[in-house]
Each structure stands twice: as C-alpha cells, then as structure tokens.
Chains A and B, each alone.
Chain A
C-alpha cells in the first residue's frame, strides 16, 4: 500500500533578534500569515493547525488560540511540547493527520517573543519531572546538562574543544551570508578558544543564541500541491526516535535517538547518506552537531570531531551543515527555521548561501539532550 505523499507548500520566517519588542503570538501570526501568502492559498483552505507549545509562557489549547486569531475553524488541531523536537515533530504530525484522513492542509507554527529576563515569563514555564533531583544542585541550565554529555564524548572519543569550535565557525560563516541572522560577524577557531567557559567543557561560542522570532510551514498532499502557486518541497521521509526523557539517567550519553530516527527516515525515503546534499541539524550546542553526524552515519561513531574540521561542513565543503547559521548563529527559534531553510535551499532561493544543485536535505529536531529525535528528509522531486 502506498501512503499519501505530502509536501511543504508554504514556508515563512519572521525577522529574528534578541529584543524585537513583539509578543510571541504576534510573531507566530506574522509567520503564519506569510506562510499562507507564500503558498498562494486562502486561509479557509487550512483545515489543520499544529502549534509548538512555548516553553516560556506555556498556555493550554495553544493551537486553538492561533486558529481563533487567524479566524479559521480547523478540523484537526494539536499542541506539541517536545522542546527542540517540536518543530520537526509538527511536520510529522501534520503528515500523519493528513494520511489518516483527518485533514488536508495543515499550518505548523512555532516561535518565541519577548519574555522576562529570567526566561520564566508571566505564566511560568514548563518544568521537568526530574527537577527536584537537578535544581537543588545548581544543575538548572541547558549548558550544564549538555556539558555533561560533551565531557563524556570527549572522554570516550578524544573529541577536542577546537573541533567543537569548527562547528561554531561554520555556522557563523553561514549566518554571515544570511540577511536574517542575529550574528553576522565571522569568527575563527581562536575566537572560539578565547571565549570563556560557561559550563566547562562548553564555552560561550559552543552555546546557541537566545532569540525572538517565529517560523511557519504549510503541509498538504502532493496532489493538492500541484494546483498551488508555490514550488512544493516534498517530504520524502520522516521518523521519530525516543531513548529517554533526560540525559542524566540514560545508559549512554554519546549515542542518541538520532540513530533510530535517521535510519527509518532515510530508509523510507529510499536514500543513503551519499544522496544528501545538505543537512540542517538542531544545534543547541556544537557537540550536538558532532553526535548527530555520527548517529546519521555520515561518519563512524567517535569520528565526528575530525569530520567537522577543515571546512568540510561549510557551504562548498563535502556536507554543508546549517546553511542558515543554525541556532548557534542565525537565531534560536526551536528548530523551526531549520525547516524553513531546508525549504528555501531545495527551492533554490537561498541567494549567497545557496548549496549548488540542492535536491535532498535532511532536517533534524531534538530535545531531552538528544533523547528525543525527529528526522525529516525533504526533496525537490516527489518520491
């Protein structure tokens, strides 16, 4: 049995920055409106809405409030709260809902607006069930949790801080080619090595940005896409993997759920690593890119550190990674812009940062310190 094939037909991102002075809802509605225009459809054609539950300012029925403000009454809604995996997971859920016959055309939207300086927001934030075993030790803070993992990768495989620096340098170079990026000034390995430790072994330049902004995509069937004005980007494969909710109590800190997710997504897409023209990897920290390169099979386990060196992951290199600058240098919009960038690249609209002849892109989202992973394979041609 062949399942209904789907495509992304609308894609948009808002301006990004550190203090835009716009609410999260305003930014999301901006992205949604632009994505509807990009698809060249009427809002009434949207019969599904999926929203990423913001970690700052969480609210119940979030997708329904988005739909209400857009003045539509969808037949399918759901909220997804999987942190950095939520963006890619929204696309997975959209395709699943379409295939199940629940709806035909789905808006997926995520973003964050201005919040209080402590990141808590007026309505608080989502909290981990394990926080009582972490926060009393001053273990709150993503660089601490991810740093535990980076240390372990260094211990097991000899990965170095300079190698992590190569990821930061590549992302910054790509951001310098992206007009909608928070950080434009190129950096060197020496700059990375001179940046202070935040949670040793992670330095400031190993950490992603704090950002405001939003992104949205519209998913529909290949069949419907044919009648729409925009160039469809086909969803050739997709999969989710889940190993644990939080890394502290996982069996391995250096093998992630990306192994299962990428294997299934690549298999369903009928592709191998050699077919991939570019990847947009969720990059909350530099070593997270290194681990994903290994777990996706672009190199052997433990060799990610040497793989990223010498410009191999830069545009023009063997495998361009995070062509928009990623969370490390474009903006941290929860991975939403990894998807919009994948669409832009496959459409051939990426300007100075365009990867030549980009036909297949692998996109990732992840959370729970790599315990939860989502892979999307996007392509210019239908499967």
Chain B
C-alpha cells in the first residue's frame, strides 16, 4: 500500500525548543521580556521592543480571537490532499501576539473575523504536539 506523504513537522532548535516542549505538555508558551514586559511570538533571542536578551517563558491563557483566515480549497502539499477544505488562520492571543494555526471543529461557512477561539493540542508525533484552535 502506498502511504500518503507525511506532513512536515517542526524541527525544534535552540531558540524554539522550549516552545515545542511546552506544547508537548499541553501548555502554550510565550516569551515575555524580563525588562519591558512585551510578549513575543515566534520565539526570538531578543525583544524587538527594547532589545533585551533577557526573557521568561510564560503560559498563555489559550484564549484568542480570529484575526484573519483562509479556507484552503486546493492542497499545496500532497499530505493535505485529502483534507481540503481546511482553515488556515491567524489568531490574536489574549496576551497580544499573533499565531498562525488551524481552526478546527467548525463549519468553514461559520467562521468570521473576531470569532472567540481557544487552544487545543494535536499530538502529531512522540515529540511534537501542534497548538490548534476551535470555537470556545
């Protein structure tokens, strides 16, 4: 039997491993600048507001709203061929940062900008769990 090509998964590196480790535990982590308090995502070695290299990982509430979305009708990667239509969206976390994700458990026709959503974790492998969102 010919297997479907597998979906690309993140390869955690020096800068991103704490984020992905958090996801594996079911925690959505954000970096918070220890000096100016700004939250950031994706992970970065420095704060883009004050350039401080000092930060702590804090757990986000998981609450967010849909900032924008597309309903993908044509797969751009063979692993998604059986999954169209699916929703790629950017959500605005309650803490501020935007995060790209999938919106699940919803009829694409019902999605709208501003829709309240909450995080859940999709275990994709032994090492990787992907934060996704669904209506709350």
Which residues of A have CB within 8 Å of B9? 136
Q: Is the CB of B72 within 8 A of A144?
A: yes
Within 8 A of A (CB), among B21-71: 41-42, 67-71
Q: Is the CB of B113 within 8 A of A138?
A: no
Which residues of A have CB within 8 Å of B3? none
Interface bin, chain B: 35 or more
Which residues of A have CB within 8 Å of B16? 132
Say if the beta carbon of B4 comes within 8 Å of chain A.
Answer: no
Q: Is the CB of A134 within 8 A of B83?
A: no
Which residues of B have CB within 8 Å of A132? 10-12, 16
Which residues of A have CB within 8 Å of B88? 137-139, 144, 148, 199
Q: Is the CB of A199 within 8 A of B11?
A: no
**Taking the nearest CB of chain B, how far is it from the CB of A214, in angstroms?**
25
**Taking the nearest CB of chain B, how far is it from the CB of A296, in angstroms?**
23
Measured CB to CB, the nearest residue on chain A to B86 is A138
Q: Is the CB of A253 within 8 A of B68?
A: yes
**Taking the nearest CB of chain B, how far is it from the CB of A226, in angstroms?**
48
Contact partner of B102 among A137, A197, A248, CB < 8 A? Answer: A137
Q: Is the CB of B113 within 8 A of A151?
A: yes
Say if the beta carbon of A152 comes within 8 Å of chain B.
Answer: yes
Say if the beta carbon of A141 comes within 8 Å of chain B.
Answer: yes
Q: Is the CB of A200 within 8 A of B102?
A: no
Within 8 A of B (CB), among A116-154: 130-141, 143-144, 147-149, 151-152
Contact partner of A136 among B8, B67, B98, B99, CB < 8 A? Answer: B8
Q: Is the CB of B10 within 8 A of A133?
A: yes
Complex Cα–Cα for A132 and B12 (A): 8
Q: Is the CB of A198 within 8 A of B100?
A: no
Within 8 A of A (CB), among B81-136: 83, 85-86, 88-90, 97-102, 108, 113, 124, 128, 130, 132
Measured CB to CB, the nearest residue on chain A to B113 is A155
Q: Is the CB of A138 within 8 A of B102?
A: yes
